[in-house]
């Protein structure tokens, strides 16, 4: 079976690993970058808590001992399902089975002005750009002491009260509390405001009410200004405007308010559902397709309890990959369609960290909600175990340990000029 996988995120990587060295499979894994990116820790790269290399792992190294996997670096231009062919920027690729695991990108909800000026954080490069922008704003502020325009360089606005927005807000608040006044002693950081905008009444709305309430309490404890039931309607690079006509001067708006699926050209428009996701059946096969599948954030599957599709989180992607790997193997071994599995999502819980010793964890089966140090320790342990490579885990753990005792990190380096961000 010539199996082509587009995307080496959690889903695509898991599928390739499950089928490596399996008899009967010739696998091509295509991605725009040559490494797997551990998205849950992007915010720590953006706030100088971790080095980018600590959460990135070379794809070719992962598959050193895999005899049936080829890595191709490039971009898919079009899917020609009727011809079982992909058009890419490095040539045509033919397949027997195709798996779309392209994940999701930032959703600016068609607001072109915000898209032009706000910074997203959906890749390692974007996380590094965000780090550079944060640091350059403070460098600029040192030149503008006594000027009214300094306010815009000190204020930071985060849009979106999900896990990404909450974790970024908390991390930047801790930078302000423990680090920035030492790096920039000439600046008055009492004038720095960190705003978190959320269109609903609570942050982490998808979690249990107790966890949501805790997250808001933790953010306020760290000095974050919460703006719930508030939507950002415009941002021109200097001034943010909300639906209440409130205006805030800022040179940095971080957009974490939504995501949309990355769909390559060639998918029938009638198969694209809300959130720019591809409609699939219970076996992750694209509706009315014989050989094309979609898994993870880009897949839209309606099941009992998930009428609007599954959460766009890593466990969904990896569980879909596990099921699909078993089905493809059974198909190749001629086990019969009667033995094919259907996807059932097993929700093992959700979590988010806000700051040092401050996190929330939901355990859905028992309806238990944990907070504080215990939740923070669970969050750290599980994320550490999910990172690829023993060396990366050791580096991340060492960084966390050093930062915990010193309240500092030596990664506040600028490698890009502002005009290049």
Q: Where are the domains of the chain?
A: 2-32+74-106+259-339, 112-257+357-420
pLDDT in tens, 337-395: 668 999 999 999 999 999 999 999 999 877 899 999 999 999 999 999 999 888 889 99
**pLDDT for residue 336:** 67
pLDDT in tens, 1-42: 999 999 999 999 999 999 999 999 999 999 999 999 999 999
The chain-wide mean pLDDT, for the chain, equals 94
Mean pLDDT of 305-320: 95
Share of the chain above pLDDT 90, in %: 89
Nearest-5° angle of CA 384, CA 318, CA 324?
Answer: 155
Confidence of residue 104 (pLDDT cuts 50, 70, 90): very high
What are φ and ψ of residue 275, in 5° steps? 75, 15
Confidence of residue 409 (pLDDT cuts 50, 70, 90): confident
CA distance 2 to 184: 57
CA distance 376 to 95: 44
In CATH, the architecture of 112-257+357-420 is: 3-Layer(bba) Sandwich (3.50)
Q: Enumerate the H helices of 333-371 as residue ranges.
A: none
pLDDT in tens, 120-148: 999 999 999 999 999 999 999 999 988 88
**Cβ atoms of 62 and 36 closer than 8 Å:** yes
> Is 335 a residue whose pLDDT tops 80?
no
Mean pLDDT of 98-123: 96
Q: Nearest CA to 76 among 102, 40, 97, 53?
A: 102
**pLDDT for residue 136:** 96
Q: Which two tokens stand for residue 126?
A: 């974007």
**pLDDT for residue 312:** 95
In CATH, the architecture of 2-32+74-106+259-339 is: 3-Layer(bba) Sandwich (3.50)
pLDDT in tens, 143-167: 998 888 999 999 999 999 999 999 9
Instruction: Tell me whether the CATH fold assigned to 2-32+74-106+259-339 matches the one assigned to 112-257+357-420.
Output: yes
Confidence of residue 220 (pLDDT cuts 50, 70, 90): very high
Q: Which residue has the tokens 């970024």?
A: 168
* C-alpha Rg value of the chain to the nearest Å: 22
pTM of the model: 0.93
Mean pLDDT of 402-408: 89
Q: Which two tokens stand for residue 172?
A: 């930047």
């Amino acid at each position: 079976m010539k199996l082509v996988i587009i995307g080496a995120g959690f889903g695509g990587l898991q599928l390739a690993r499950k089928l490596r060295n399996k008899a009967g499979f010739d696998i091509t894994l295509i991605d725009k970058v040559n490494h797997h990116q551990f998205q849950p820790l992007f915010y720590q790269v953006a706030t100088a808590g971790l080095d980018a290399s600590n959460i990135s792992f070379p794809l070719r190294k992962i598959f050193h001992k895999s005899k049936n996997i080829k890595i191709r670096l490039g971009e898919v231009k079009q899917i020609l399902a009727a011809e079982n062919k992909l058009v890419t920027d490095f040539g045509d690729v033919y397949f027997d089975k195709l798996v779309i695991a392209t994940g999701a990108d930032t959703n600016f909800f068609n607001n072109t002005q915000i898209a032009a000026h706000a910074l997203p954080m959906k890749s390692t490069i974007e996380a590094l750009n965000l780090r550079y922008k944060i640091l350059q704003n403070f460098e600029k502020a040192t030149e503008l002491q006594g000027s009214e325009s300094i306010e815009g360089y000190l204020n930071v606005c985060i849009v979106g009260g999900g896990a990404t927005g909450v974790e970024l807000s908390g991390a930047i608040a801790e930078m302000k509390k423990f680090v920035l006044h030492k790096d920039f002693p000439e600046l008055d950081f009492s004038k720095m405001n960190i705003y978190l905008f959320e269109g609903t009444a609570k942050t982490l709305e998808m979690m249990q009410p107790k966890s949501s309430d805790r997250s808001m309490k933790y953010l306020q404890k760290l000095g974050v200004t919460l703006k719930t039931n508030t939507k950002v309607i415009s941002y021109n690079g200097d001034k943010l405007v909300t639906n209440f006509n409130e205006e805030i001067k800022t040179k940095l708006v971080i957009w974490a308010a939504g995501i949309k699926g990355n769909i390559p050209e060639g998918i029938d428009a009638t198969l694209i559902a809300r959130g720019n996701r591809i409609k699939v059946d219970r076996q992750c096969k694209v509706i009315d397709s014989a050989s094309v599948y979609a898994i993870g954030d880009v897949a839209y599957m309606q099941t009992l309890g998930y009428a609007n599709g599954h959460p766009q989180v890593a466990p969904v992607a990896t569980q879909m990959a596990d099921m699909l790997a078993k089905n493809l193997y059974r198909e190749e071994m001629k086990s019969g369609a009667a033995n094919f599995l259907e996807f059932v999502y097993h929700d093992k819980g959700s979590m988010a960290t806000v700051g040092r010793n401050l996190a929330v964890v939901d355990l859905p089966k028992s309806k238990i909600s944990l907070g504080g140090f215990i939740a923070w320790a669970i969050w750290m342990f599980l994320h550490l175990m999910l990172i690829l490579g023993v060396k990366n885990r050791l580096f991340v753990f060492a960084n966390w340990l050093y930062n915990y005792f010193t309240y500092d990190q030596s990664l506040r380096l600028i490698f890009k000029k502002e005009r290049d961000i």
